[in-house]
Each structure stands twice: as structure tokens, then as C-alpha cells.
Amino acid sequence: MKKTYLILVFLLIGIMVNIAQDIPKHISYYRIYDFLDELATDGLIEINSAVKPYSQQFIAEKLQKIAIQAKETDTKLLSKRQMLELEYFLNEFALELDRLPESPNFFYKNDLSIASILPPVISYKDSLFKARLIPILGMHITANKNGRIEKKWFGAEFQGMIGKNFSIYGSLRDISHTGDGLLSKPSFLNDEPGYEYTIGTDFSDSRGGIKFSNDYLSIGLIKDNISWGDNYHGSNILSGRVPSFPMIYMHVKPVKWFELNYFHGWLVSNVIDSTNYYVQNDNQIFYRPANKFMAANLLTFTPVKNLKLSIGNSIIYGERNVHPAYFIPIAFYKSLDHVMTKGLVTENQNSQLFINISSRNIRHLHLFTSVFADEIQFRRFKPTSPDKNPISYKIGANISNFPLQNLSATVEYTKTNILNYKHSIPALTWASNSYNLGHYMGDNAQEFYASLRFKPARGLDLNLYYVDAKHGNEYEYIRKGVFNGISSSVINIISNPSPGDIIWRNQTVGFNATYEIFRNSYAIIKVEKSDIQTFDAASAPVFGEVRMTAQEVMDLYTPTMLQGDNFTFIVGFSFGF
């Protein structure tokens, strides 16, 4: 027994001597992610861009590595704009590099802390504890001929790093919408963040967590947004668009050529459990939502430098309580599910498989593809098979700083088959708070995206983009039923052509200018020429189809303000994100 205790003590000491703290940088701060992606595509650093958010410690170390290389090399490693961006971001993550940030606009400063006005942030550092407090304030105004919507938010964010291995963070944003309708609902086909409105059009977003980490392991309890799958315009695996949800998250990277990402999450089903309810003293009954849990892993291998091969799987399950089997980080969850439910002759839980490939082996060029599969039968890949696998795939390319400095171009195509994200049991769909966890276009849809981004100066991003998104017939996931007197099943549904009849289409050309004036403080101007049209289905109704008129399709999929042909203007600012 004494030997066991000694071994545990030595293991604990061995873990604690490694220095690493893990506070995730939220995926909404796209400029730092875009800068790291640019450096990686230029061949200067190596990252696994399929998994976000990155930790702030990871970001700081990558930036410092580039700064050292730029100082040591005789050749011009970075452009003038990149050097200014690097200096700017190094100051942003100064605490992670064990120093206080510099600011000419401070109103208080001593050896342990600095409080600045622009950017509005308070930073503190001593030998044991480092922290920053960031106030949050912002507003976006969206306007076109159909009306105007104002989105306002305020709050604060706290980040603390304790000792060498522990971190704690939390943020609160109180968001309100006023004006002519809403831009975000679960059924809307756009990439607006998902909101669970509390009173009217108000939404409160609280994120945070506590983590332990060292050089090769990070584990914690967090409530945050995560994104899995390489993309530049919405992942088809985990997009991060749904409202943040609590999870136990683990990241392990013991060697350069392998890493594991895993989480077990508590989702929001928005489905009533009629067997679970409260009774008030006036005998009024309040039903509780059905439980909805999720476990997922993603294993990433690097066989050669800059080539990332990722494979993972997940399961959404709705048991009374969490199941210990799904806390196993490396497992094939569909197999576990079969063992636990198949003998009961009952419906299985909802399992998925995903693959991501990212290559930056050609300098200045990033090639990527990702696949999300709800179900796979190899016979369905044959051209003669009438039914097709419910899968989603994305393929794309990004070229950066070639042939011209500060210019990048992206093309991306996403195709999702029928019933890919749905399930016959509403509580087991690939969704939380009724928002799809995957691509914003949902099932039976496709999207082409292209952009040209120019960065003429530090902090200024100019982005010209084009979107052509199409949605086909809408279907329900029905296992078995009778249609026109004939017994039908889900096989009949996925035998329909995808996308089939185009019932909704969005063609948008846009220009977006963002200027990050101070750290965590930006101004934005966006102009979009959009043409969103809907159509009556031309084919005859089939089993499982939700047949709608063109106007019903428009109202279901499109915010009132964006329906039809519009010039839309968006202006805004933000302190904090």
C-alpha cells in the first residue's frame, strides 16, 4: 500500500512540474484564428485547424515561436503587415507569456497590475496568480428596405491562471434584439449564432470552465462553443453555432504525431418528458425536458509534417442518467450501443462517424475535406443502389499570400444528403436547443462559397465573398408507415434524389470590412446584395416529405427582413467579444 501511495505521489509531482494553462479563446475572435491559419498555410507553424477553440497558451506559444524565428533568421520571414500583427497579438497574450501587457492608455499601473482604458482591460500578475478582467459592450445595426434590427450586448469576462496547471474562466453576455423580427431561429438557414431567448427577444449567454493541464494533457469542466472540422464558412461536423452547452472536455497530445480530443456533453433536447414533472401547490403541472447527452471523440494523426488525418465518432443518447460507457474517450460508441440495447429489440441511440483531412504540404495552399456520416452501408455507394447513405461532405481550398502578399482566396463546397442530421426520435437529433450541431444549411442541401480577402494594414480585413446555397425537399425521419396504400420505410425516403426539387435558394454577394482598432475592440461595416427565393416543388409528393407552399418555405427558412431581393447594410462595434 505504501508503495502505491509513493507511486501516486511521484506521478502527481511529475504531472505538476510541467507548465501549461488552458483557457480557450472563443471561436468568435476570428482574427487570431485567421492569422494562425495564414501562418500555417505559409508553412511557418503547424496546427490542427480541425479542432477549435485553441487554448490561449497554445496561441501564445505559436506566436512566440514565430517571433524568435523572425529575430534569428536573416531572411525576411514575415511581411511588414504580418510583423505588426505578430507584435499586436503578442501583447494580447502577454499574461500567457508571463508578463503584463503594454498599454499607452492606462489609468493605473504598478508592478503587479495594469488597468487600461483602450483597450478596456485590467490585468494582474504575481508569482502564483495571473488574471484579466474584460468588460464587454457592443451593438450591431442591420438595415434594409424591409426594416431594421438592433442587436446590443453587454457583460464581462474573467480569466484566471492559478499556479502552473490550473485555469478558471467565465463570461456573461446579456444580448437583446429590437426592431423588425429576428435573424436567428433554429429553422433559419443562415450562420447566425443560435439563441435560446429568455424573455421576448433577450438572450443571456454564460460561458466558463475550470481546467487542469500540462504539456500533454488538458481536462476540465466547461460550458463553451466548440467547432470540429476544417472550414472557412461553417463546419459540417460541429459548427459551434448552437448555444454553448456544458461538457467534460479532454485533450491529449503525448507525441507530435497523435492527439485525441474528447468530450461528454449535456445537450438541451427541447422535448418534453411526460413522466418527469413538477407540481405546484395549486396542482399546476410543469413538465421537464427529456435528457439528452452526447459523447464524441476525434483522433488526429500526422504521418508527415503538415498532413492531418482525423477520424472520430459520436453518440447522442437519451437515457435517464449519463452512462459510464460513454465516458470512455477512445471507443466506437455504436458498438457499445448495440451491446446495451440490441438484445432489448428496441431503438438504438443515434451514432455518427466523421473524417477530416487537412493538408498544408504545398506552401501557401491549404487543402481540406471533411465527412459526416449518420449511417453507412457500402452497397449504397454503388451507382445502381436506389437508396443513398445519409452523409455530408465538404471539400475546399485556401491559398494565402500567393502570388500577392496580404491576399488570400478560398473556395468551399458542402453537400448534405437526405436525413443526415435527423432521427426518428426527436430527442436524439443532431441538435441542441433545436439548433443543428452541424452545417447551418441542414439536411438535403448544398452550398458553394468563395471569398477574396485583402489585408492592407494591421487590423484591417477586407473580405469580398459569394454564397450560392440551395435546399431541396424537406423530409421527416419516419421508420415505417403507409403511403398511398403501400407500406413504406426510411429506405424509401433516402432513395429520393438529393437535393431533388430546389425549394429554397440564397445567392448573396457581400463585402465585409473589419478593423480591430484596439485589442478586443473592433468596428465592422458589411454590405450584402442577397436574393433569397423559394419555389413550389415540381415533383409529386412522396413518403416522408413535408410538402409546403413557396411562401411557407420562405417563412420557415428565412428571416422576414431578408426575404426576397435586398441590399442589407450592417454596421457595428464591440469592446470584448
For the entire predicted model, the pTM comes to: 0.94
- Residue-level pLDDT at 11: 40
Q: Give the mean model confidence (pLDDT) for residues 81-88.
A: 95
Beta bridge partners of 310: 300, 356
- Residue-level pLDDT at 344: 65
- Residue-level pLDDT at 348: 83
What is the 3 state secondary structure string of 74-96? CCCCCCHHHHHHHHHHHHHCCHH
* Three-class SS state of 290: coil
Q: Does the pLDDT at position 170 exceed 80?
A: yes
- CA neighbours closer than 13 Å in the CB half-sphere of residue 78: 25
**Average pLDDT value over all residues in the chain:** 92
- Helix or strand (DSSP H, E) at 487: strand 486-489
Q: Give the mean model confidence (pLDDT) for residues 487-493.
A: 91
Domain boundaries, the chain: 17-575
Q: Give the mean model confidence (pLDDT) for residues 30-36.
A: 96
Q: What pLDDT digit, counting tens, does each position of 175-228 carry?
A: 999 999 999 999 999 999 998 887 778 889 999 999 999 999 999 999 999 999
CATH superfamily membership of 17-575: Capsule assembly protein Wzi (2.40.160.130)
Q: Give the mean model confidence (pLDDT) for residues 128-138.
A: 95
Confidence grade of residue 18 (pLDDT, cut at 50, 70, 90):
low
The percentage of the chain sitting over the pLDDT mark of 70, rounded to a whole number, equals: 95
Q: Give the mean model confidence (pLDDT) for residues 436-445.
A: 98
Burial of 9 (0-12, 13-18, 19+ CB in 10 A): exposed
- Residue-level pLDDT at 546: 96
56-72 vs 30-41: helix crossing angle, rounded to 10: 40
CB 372 within 8 A of CB 352: yes
* φ, ψ for residue 494, nearest 5 deg: -80, 0
Q: Give the mean model confidence (pLDDT) for residues 388-411.
A: 96
Q: Give the mean model confidence (pLDDT) for residues 308-316.
A: 98
Give the burial string for 283-303 (b: 16+ CB within 10 Å, else e).
eeeeeeebbbbbbbbbbbebe
Q: What pLDDT digit, counting tens, does each position of 334-369 carry?
A: 999 988 877 666 678 999 999 999 999 999 999 999
- Residue-level pLDDT at 577: 65
* Three-class SS state of 299: strand
Burial of 426 (0-12, 13-18, 19+ CB in 10 A): middle
- Residue-level pLDDT at 129: 96
Confidence grade of residue 74 (pLDDT, cut at 50, 70, 90):
low
H helical segments located in 17-152? 30-41, 56-72, 80-92
Classify residue 121 as left (phi > 0), alpha (psi -120 to 50) or beta. beta
* φ, ψ for residue 170, nearest 5 deg: -165, 150
Q: Does the pLDDT at position 310 exceed 80?
A: yes
Q: Does the pLDDT at position 425 exceed 80?
A: yes
Q: Does the pLDDT at position 71 exceed 90?
A: no
Q: Does the pLDDT at position 246 exceed 70?
A: yes
- Residue-level pLDDT at 8: 39
- Residue-level pLDDT at 483: 86
**For residues 359 and 575, which has the higher predicted lDDT (pLDDT)?**
359
